[in-house]
């Protein structure tokens, strides 16, 4: 079975990889107890493929798991198909795959074993956190429309970190990204994630936090169902966006986050708008606006041309001639009325002149009358008011004389 490599540079009995794998395969597959074995465990993940169904049986308390496969020819014969969260009792045999250096349990039958402990714990925790309102939509904050600084919590060695960087760089050049490294798998992952979130908050520059991890089995993503991580997300002072790479299952971190995406790339796409797309949309809006303005301007030109044509069709010359004639007629009437009024005024003035002439004292004097005034200037109208020896002033038509009264008759 085993061939040894003969080389003076190698230690004695050195095995090749294939030799070692073949040896392990022979030990496991020829073991009578492992050729037909009953195993009880909780289904932590299950997926359907073309050749059959692959799932993982897990022992939550012992922190152990084993990969299982049920070929399509056997799936319909199972009493209880593998379902995530259910506890199963399966019958199968151990098989080794040298290409991957792994062993798995090839299942022939599976029986229900009740609800799994891990699934029960998950359901209880989810119900308790939901009762506190941590998953309510009313408490979720909107993501910033154009964040300038984004904090990322993930493993720096994971492919998710590279996917996020490439996506953000291509969509939004010049964006500042702060990495807060964390373990995203294993027993130490929850505390590491909580500490990474706290570092982003203490830094104070990030406007959005992305919590991300690539795809994996459900047991690999258990840290995102940890109560410590859930409460750290709920208490985070800035909006949190999760991009945890599992399509079917939904973690408690996804439920409590302000927004979630199914993959790290999708989270990066949701975090920032694509500048090229924004520019294209802006250019399209400019073109639409130019079209609207051009359409309105064309309509205005058409309206002006229509009004101009209407003006040209009107008999303006005849209307102007009529207006001129009307103005001339009004002018003639005004002149006639003014002349008539002037003539009447002249006649009235002449009459008044005649009346004034008849009342003019000089005219009376010219007819031989005289005006007699006493010394104080009072006109003497009666002989009774005069006295002998009094001096009088007599005004004649031409000249004045003074006389003294020598006799009153």
382: containing domain: 363-404
CATH of the domain at 163: 3.40.50.2300
Q: What is the mean pLDDT of residues 72-84?
A: 88
CA distances from residue 172 to 176, 284, 402 in whole angstroms, order as listed: 10, 20, 127
Q: Do residue 255 and residue 305 come from a single domain? A: no
Question: Predicted confidence band at 278 (pLDDT cuts at 50, 70, 90)?
Answer: confident
Q: Do residue 178 and residue 245 come from a single domain? A: yes
Q: Do residue 284 and residue 268 come from a single domain? A: no
**pLDDT the model gives residue 62:** 61
Q: Do residue 255 and residue 163 come from a single domain? A: yes
Which residues is 227 bridged to in the sheet?
Answer: none
Q: What is the mean pLDDT of residues 89-103?
A: 89
Q: Do residue 286 and residue 267 come from a single domain? A: no
Who has greater pLDDT, 390 or 1?
A: 390
Quote the number of domains for the chain.
4
Q: Most distant CA pair in the chain: distance in Å?
A: 197
Q: Is the pLDDT of residue 5 over 50?
A: no
The answer to the question of residue 330 being in a domain is: no
CA distances from residue 80 to 85, 87, 109, 116 in whole angstroms, order as listed: 13, 10, 8, 14
Q: Do residue 181 and residue 257 come from a single domain? A: yes
The answer to the question of residue 180 being in a domain is: yes
**pLDDT the model gives residue 6:** 46
Distance (Å, whole) CA 170 – CA 185: 28
- Which residues, 6+ apart, have CB-to-CB distance to 83 below 8 Å? 43, 46
The answer to the question of residue 253 being in a domain is: yes
Do residues 88 and 82 lie in contact, with contact meaning Cβ atoms separated by under 8 Å?
yes
The answer to the question of residue 358 being in a domain is: no
Q: Do residue 210 and residue 292 come from a single domain? A: no
What does the DSSP 8-state code read for residue 157?
T
pLDDT tens readout for residues 225-257:
899 999 999 999 999 999 987 656 578 999 999
The answer to the question of residue 318 being in a domain is: no
Strand pairing report for 391-395 and 86-97: unpaired
Among 243, 273, 303, give the residue marking a domain's end: 273
Distance (Å, whole) CA 237 – CA 202: 10
Q: Do residue 150 and residue 261 come from a single domain? A: yes
Q: Where are the beta strands (DSSP E) in 49-148?
A: 52-59, 64-71, 86-97, 102-115
Q: Is the pLDDT of residue 91 over 60?
A: yes
pLDDT tens readout for residues 166-213:
999 988 888 899 999 999 988 899 999 999 999 999 999 999 999 999
Identify which of 95, 122, 118 has the alpha carbon closest to the alpha carbon of residue 44. 118
Q: Is the pLDDT of residue 124 over 60?
A: yes
Q: Do residue 45 and residue 25 come from a single domain? A: yes
Q: Do residue 150 and residue 254 come from a single domain? A: yes
Q: Do residue 93 and residue 200 come from a single domain? A: no
Q: Determine the angle formed by the axes of helices 159-171 and 264-271, rounding to 10 degrees.
A: 30
pLDDT tens readout for residues 307-365:
887 777 666 677 778 888 889 999 999 999 988 988 888 888 888 887 777 777 777 66
CATH of the domain at 54: 2.40.50.140
pLDDT tens readout for residues 33-49:
888 889 988 888 888 88
Q: Do residue 160 and residue 108 come from a single domain? A: no
The answer to the question of residue 90 being in a domain is: yes
């Amino acid at each position: 079975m085993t061939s040894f490599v003969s080389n003076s540079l190698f230690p004695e009995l050195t095995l090749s990889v294939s030799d070692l794998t073949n040896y392990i395969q022979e030990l496991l597959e020829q073991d009578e107890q492992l050729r037909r074995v009953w195993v009880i465990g909780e289904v932590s993940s299950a997926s359907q493929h073309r050749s059959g169904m692959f799932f993982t049986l897990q022992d939550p308390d012992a922190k152990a798991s084993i990969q299982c496969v049920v070929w399509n020819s056997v799936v319909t014969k199972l009493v209880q198909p593998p379902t995530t969260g259910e506890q199963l009792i399966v019958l199968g045999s151990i098989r080794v795959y040298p290409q991957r250096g792994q062993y798995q349990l090839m299942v022939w039958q599976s029986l229900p074993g009740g609800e799994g402990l891990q699934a029960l714990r998950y359901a209880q925790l989810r119900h308790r956190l939901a009762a506190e309102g941590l998953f309510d939509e009313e408490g979720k904050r909107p993501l910033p429309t154009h964040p300038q600084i984004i904090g990322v919590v993930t493993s720096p060695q994971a492919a998710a970190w590279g996917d996020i960087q490439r996506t953000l760089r291509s969509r939004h050049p010049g964006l500042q990204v702060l990495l807060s490294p964390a373990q995203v798998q294993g027993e130490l992952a929850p505390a590491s994630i909580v500490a990474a979130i706290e570092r982003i908050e203490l830094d104070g520059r990030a406007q959005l936090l992305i919590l991300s991890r690539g795809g994996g089995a459900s047991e690999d993503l258990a840290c995102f169902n940890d109560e410590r991580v859930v409460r750290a997300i709920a208490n985070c002072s800035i909006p949190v966006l999760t991009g945890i790479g599992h399509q079917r299952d939904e973690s408690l971190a996804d439920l409590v986050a302000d927004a979630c995406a199914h993959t790290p790339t999708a989270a990066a796409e949701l975090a920032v708008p694509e500048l090229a797309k924004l520019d294209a949309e802006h250019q399209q809006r400019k073109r639409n606006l130019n079209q609207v303005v051009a359409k309105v301007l064309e309509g205005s030109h058409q309206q002006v041309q229509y009004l101009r044509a209407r003006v040209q069709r009107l008999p303006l010359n005849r209307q102007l001639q009529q207006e001129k004639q009307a103005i001339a007629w009004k002018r003639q009437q005004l002149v006639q009325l003014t002349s008539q009024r002037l003539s009447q005024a002249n006649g009235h003035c002449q009459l008044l002149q005649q009346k004034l002439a008849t009342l003019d004292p000089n005219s009376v004097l010219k007819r031989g009358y005289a005006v007699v005034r006493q010394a104080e200037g009072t006109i003497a109208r009666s002989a009774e008011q005069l006295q002998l020896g009094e001096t009088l002033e007599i005004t004649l038509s031409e000249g004045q004389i003074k006389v003294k009264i020598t006799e009153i008759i």
